[in-house]
Structure 1
Amino acid sequence: MKATNMRTLTVSLTPRQAEMMQSAVEKGSYASNSEVVRDALRLWEQREEVRELELARLKKAYDEGMASGEGREISADGLLAELKAEARKRG
């Protein structure tokens, strides 16, 4: 990234977080504290993207379930019996 695209922010860290960051830089895992923060933010962005995809998948499943028709009550034993019967039909 070009330096002109960078923005300086002040961030507060716990002592443990600061120690971990400094240790990662000293060990050579990262070139700078900024690189550690940028990597952490990339991981956060990825997690948020996965979360959004999962929420969309769940919403679709919910919508499909709601569109599938009227629900019915069934006991646990009744459900188990139905599942066993379906399994026997499949072989």
Structure 2
Amino acid sequence: MGYTPGSALGKEGSGRAEPVGIQIRRTRVGIGREEPHKEKRKREEIEAERERKKEKNLMEEFGSRQKSQWRSRRVVVKFYESKSSS
């Protein structure tokens, strides 16, 4: 077939010179799938990130509600102050 040990593959010899490495899998999942514990960890990280974003949004909403309540109270106080001074 034209193969000589130590030389590269291909018509001009520009291909791989070393054999493709093997990876021993300890699980029975198919090719292209991660190890189950790695997939689980990745899902947990994604879920944790979603929770952090959700908490951040809730805190921002809470802060804006507090500000608007404070402003409305200030308007009422200012109204009564102006009413009493008249």
TM-score using structure 2 length:
0.48
Specify the structure having the higher radius of gyration (Cα). 2
The structure richer in helix per residue is 1
